[in-house]
Amino acid sequence: MNTMTFREKAARLTQLTTLDDVEHGTLKTDGAQNHHLWSDTQYQHRQLVNRFRTEVKDHYFWQQRFRCCYCSTELQPNARVYDAEHILDKSGFPEFMFHPENIAVACVICNTHKSAKSVLTDGTVRPQTIPDASTDYKILHPHLDEWDHHLSFDEIGRIAPIPGSTKGPETISICAMDGINLLRLSGHFAAKYRKKVYEMMCKVVTYVSPSKINDTFRIMMELAEQSPDALAVVATLKDRVAQLQAQRAADDAAARAALAAAAAKPAPAGPPATLAFPPPENPLTGSW
């Protein structure tokens, strides 16, 4: 039975103790004009920024049970090894950069992958205030959503979406959590093979050629013989790659059907229309 723990929904920080209202107002006003002030060492009110960052990070570190707000990886009690995460990114929404209710703490990996990606359910309307309903966000919100209502750890520690949740798969995708999952899978191999297996795992999920896939799994099976648990891991990965192959085939069929339908239509007056397709999906951004 998996006993891994997860982050708790954080109570929002509503009153700062290290800045008064005037000082906080200065940060909010200046920050709304320039999101680079978050890390600008030459900013005249840099000391205010430092006090703000320290208090906010400390608050959410403990509120979240010292875990990343997205993947629930345990964080160490040193502010240099985890990030202040702007839920609505500071480059796109600088007006909310110094609002504690728009901040959480995240591991460096999740924060880096999430970056400035859109997390609002309706990305066509710019909010005038920070949205405060869970339904306003397409990913898990650190203050509005319980982690285990949308994500879980399976028997070997991989992060998996709860069936029926739309936020779970979206959070896995936006934060690229499959990298964490592959790393945990590789941990079931003998120590001397883990790096090699991890690198093969990252590649095999991108392969299209059946021969390359089969060759990779043949090597993995040989390495797995050194560790019984690893055999089940290879079987799990095989199933996932088969799903990816089936999805690619379905996408290709849909694309061909769209081309055929477009070709069958009478040519419109004026310049010929072009049919645009979205870029192919990165297999590492799906759920496991």
Instruction: Examine the domain organization and report whether 238 and 152 are in the same domain.
Output: no
Domain finish residue from 159, 180, 201:
180
Q: In the structure, what pLDDT confidence band is assigned to residue 270 with cuts at 50, 70 and 90? A: low
Residue 70 lies in a domain: yes
Instruction: Examine the domain organization and report whether 170 and 30 are in the same domain.
Output: yes
Distance CA 187, CA 197 (A): 9
Residue 267 lies in a domain: no
Instruction: Examine the domain organization and report whether 212 and 252 are in the same domain.
Output: yes
CA-to-CA dists, residue 10 to 148, 159, 276, angstroms: 14, 20, 43
Q: What is the pLDDT of residue 242?
A: 87
- pLDDT exceeds cutoff 60 at 46: yes
Q: What is the pLDDT of residue 158?
A: 87
Percent of the chain with pLDDT over 90: 64
Residue 266 lies in a domain: no
Q: How many domains does the chain have?
A: 2
Q: What is the pLDDT of residue 1?
A: 47
Give helix 194-204 / helix 228-264 axis angle, nearest 10°: 20
Instruction: Examine the domain organization and report whether 167 and 193 are in the same domain.
Output: no
Do residues 52 and 16 lie in contact, with contact meaning Cβ atoms separated by under 8 Å? Answer: yes
Q: What is the pLDDT of residue 148?
A: 96
Residue 56 lies in a domain: yes
Q: What is the pLDDT of residue 287?
A: 46
Mean pLDDT value across residues 108-120: 95
Instruction: Examine the domain organization and report whether 63 and 144 are in the same domain.
Output: yes
- pLDDT exceeds cutoff 90 at 41: yes
| Tens-digit pLDDT profile for residues 229-240 | 888 888 888 887
Instruction: Examine the domain organization and report whether 253 and 141 are in the same domain.
Output: no
Residue 26 lies in a domain: yes
Pick 123 or 79 by higher pLDDT: 123
Instruction: Examine the domain organization and report whether 78 and 169 are in the same domain.
Output: yes
Instruction: Examine the domain organization and report whether 169 and 30 are in the same domain.
Output: yes
For the ranges 70-74, 200-204, 276-280, the one whose mean pLDDT is highest: 70-74
Question: Residue-wise over 201-221: b if at least 16 C-beta within 10 A, else e?
Answer: bbebbebeeeeebeebbeebe
Residue 29 lies in a domain: yes
- pLDDT exceeds cutoff 60 at 114: yes
Pick 265 or 69 by higher pLDDT: 69
Amino acid making up residue 207: Y
- pLDDT exceeds cutoff 50 at 283: no
- pLDDT exceeds cutoff 90 at 245: no
Residue 269 lies in a domain: no
Instruction: Examine the domain organization and report whether 146 and 248 are in the same domain.
Output: no
Cross-strand bridge partners of residue 105: 84
| Tens-digit pLDDT profile for residues 58-105 | 999 999 999 999 999 999 998 788 999 999 999 999 999 999 999 999
What is the pLDDT of the chain when averaged over all its residues?
89
Domain finish residue from 180, 210, 233:
180
Distance CA 97, CA 27 (A): 9
Determine the 3-state secondary structure of 4 from DSSP.
coil
Instruction: Examine the domain organization and report whether 77 and 199 are in the same domain.
Output: no
Domain that holds residue 75: 21-116+135-180
Residue 275 lies in a domain: no
Q: What is the pLDDT of residue 45?
A: 98
Mean pLDDT value across residues 16-35: 98
